[in-house]
Structure 1
Amino acid sequence: MAATVNTPGRPAPPKPVSKPGKVKLVRALHNYTAEHSDELSFEEGDLLYIQDSVQSNASCKKVQATCGNRTGWIPMSAVEEQVTEVVLPLHDAARRGNTIFLKECLSGGLSGTALDSAGCTPLYWAALSGHEDCVQLLLELPNPALNAQNKMGDTPLHVAANHGHLNIVTLLLQGGADASLQNNAGLTAEDIAQNPAIKNEIQMSRYHKDASLHGYNEDDYNDDSD
């Protein structure tokens, strides 16, 4: 094998940088019913994701796309010609509750804890929108940035509590969310929660956490006397 020779006075060419495929968002122009098992059915107005990294089928002008939690081939003639490039596809998938596409983004190497311009993580958007499946998926990451605060100081727990998503509040607390964190207004998630059940959930979580820190368990509170 011949050795690589650098021309004197000329810097060596930079190594290629691996970049995740861009993602485009298109809108369906009309209803389409799949004609084959590997195709995707959709309705007029549906939003579909198309990745540049996916090879299109040139012979029939079709491309693979994702709509909701379904993936398959679609005819390009059925979607708008002008496409929008999604800058932060993982954030967008979390916000829309697109679990399948969220998994694709993560498996494609996109960071599950990246911040958008407002300092929000994908977990924040999933919690705000109430998409429980997306929250569960993001909590399985090695470092889910569970207590990351955006530019307003809000955490995923803040926004889930504020929007009344009890199941997501429970998931976040079970995952180790810090209910004592205050946002820029000096308010905790409990402070901004309007749902009494959510307030109670946060209080009980804090109670059990305090008991655990002091070495107590539920048996310590049982009355053994007859």
Structure 2
Amino acid sequence: MKLDRKTLLLISGATVLFVFAAVLCIAAWSIATAPASGLERPKVTDWMQAWGSIAGVFAGLAAAGAAAALLLHERHRAATAERLLEQERAENALHVPRSVVALPARFGGGVNPNGEQYIDQVHLAVYNHGSTGIRNVAVIVALPEGGPRLLLARAAMLGPGGRWPIDQKSGKPVWYPGPSNIGTLDATVTLCFIDYTNQAWRITSDGEVAPTTTPYFEAEGAAEFPVV
């Protein structure tokens, strides 16, 4: 833990008091063991006064140590409380995007005279199970097995408890090179939208949830059923 200036001063002061107490202990021991010749030998009251001073120093040292320990404890409690608050805020922020889901995409299409598969229709639905509306909703469908990404329609607003069915046809069929039949494709659906706090989100059908500052970069300049 990184200590601030006040805590360092407390620890330094306690260290100084300890050194001072040690010096007093040495002085008291010298007085107690001084030879009888020469000056008058210190009396019992002198010893009691010296040891009383040392006890006072140790009491002050203990008080300083307790104050420093209390300060460190309060700092730790404050840091823990702040960390828990941040975690709670992060969980609350994720409540809105986790309430928005998309059903798996289904596709319509066929095979051209050259034997190439194509897609000309996408069906899916977006649900907002949250208690607040979302806006500027965009849908991107990524086809598996080397297939393209399809940029679908947008919705200006999807209210709380709202359902947005998408049954979008393409005026220009999209070639799909994958070996799987288009009727059995397991595509990844990405939703981009802005919540009521003006935060932009990007979520996918595989569970990824992430804030973003450019939620519609995939769809810039896109026409109906374009390929990225």
Q: Shared fold (TM-score greater than 0.5)?
A: no
Q: Which structure carries more relative contact order (alpha carbon 8 Å, separation 6+)?
A: 2
What's the TM-score once normalised by structure 2's chain length?
0.22
Higher helix share: 2
What's the TM-score once normalised by structure 1's chain length?
0.22
Larger Rg: 2
